[in-house]
Amino acid sequence: MNTFAVISDVHGNLEALEAVLTKIDELGVTSIYSLGDVVGYGPDPEACVRITEKRCCLRLMGNHEYAVVHPESGVTFNATAKIALDWTRQRIQEAGLVNLISELQPFHQQGETLFVHGSVQNALYEYLVESDRNGHSTFDEVVESLENDFIYFRLCFVGHNHKPFLATTEGFLHPHDGLREFQVPQEERLYVSVGSVGQPRDRDPRACFVTFDGSKITYHRVSYPFEITAGKIRSRGLPGVLADRLALGR
């Protein structure tokens, strides 16, 4: 199997996307899959759509693309996300790029691997999470999902939650700077949560993506000049909180 890279949740962050693509080129990887949410929140949605359209062999629909194309679905967004969404929609429409995102699918199966923006149960909206809103572990539910839902595939790459981790029948495994490679045993079923390129939320501001060579998942973290992105967010009149969170990785 040729090694491929999986990126997700670029969210209009051109600086992060460029840094990630440079790293992918350095690795010699040519197949890039995008799990959606290329737009939303960030200051450069048009450039990010154009670049991913050119560079990625698979592009999925995220809930932000869906909301750009279907304004009525934006009701589920919080106030900050809604402001950014309306701004993004206008930019995408004015740039004539609606057609590049309107026909995307929210999931794609390739052999024993499923690529999806959200989760197996709900491709567009549901989060794969480690703990519920009471702070309790979701491990038992995840194991149930791995046992019951993973029928026609055994690996599932997900985005949407902005956090890098593996959800396995053994537990939730997090990469860290001391260890970022995980072997994927034959026959093993697991979720690969790929993290976010443009708005990481695991308290690490570096852009995140994964590569998979058929037996090994590798998480990559790439530094990028987030202060430039943050400056653009402010100068374009988007909510300041969207700029602040980039430095915090949350």
Partner 1 sequence: MTDAARLKEFIQGSSRLPVLPKVTIRLLNALDSPDSSSKEIAEIIEGEASLTAKLLKLANSSFYGQRGQISKIHNAVVVLGSKTIRSLALTVWTQTLRSQARNAEEMTMMVPLLAHGLAAGVAARLLAERSNKNLAEDAFMAGLLHDIGRVALVAQMGGDYQTQVLDPARHELLPLHEKEAALLGFDHRALGAALMASWALPPFLAEAVEKHHDSSIVPANQLIVAAVALADSVATDLGFNLALDLPRPGQKEIADFFGLPDQEAIIGFQEMCMSRFQTISEAMDSAPTERSSAA
Binding stretches for partner 1 (CB under 8 A): 9, 37, 40, 63-64, 67, 76-78, 80-81, 85, 127, 129-137, 139-140, 160-163, 165-166, 168, 170-176, 178-179, 181-185, 188, 201-203, 250
Q: Which is nearer to partner 1, 181 or 227 (CB)?
A: 181
Of 115 and 172, which CB lies nearer to partner 1 in the complex structure? 172
**Pick 22 or 121: Cβ nearer partner 1:** 121
Shortest reach from residue 5's CB to partner 1, in Å? 20
Cβ 174 to partner 1 shortest distance, Å: 4
Q: Which is nearer to partner 1, 201 or 234 (CB)?
A: 201
40: left (phi over 0), alpha (psi -120 to 50) or beta: left
Shortest distance, position 166 Cβ to partner 1, whole Å: 7
Q: Give the Cα separation of 7 and 199 in Å (integer).
A: 12
Could you tell me which of 163, 224, 168 has the C-alpha nearest to residue 195? 163
What is the four-CA torsion angle of 48, 26, 19, 40, rounded to 10 degrees? 30
Least gap, CB of 30 to partner 1 (angstroms): 26
Cβ nearer to partner 1, comparing 71 with 225? 71
Q: In the complex, what is the shortest distance from the CB of residue 125 to partner 1, in angstroms, rounded to a whole number?
A: 8
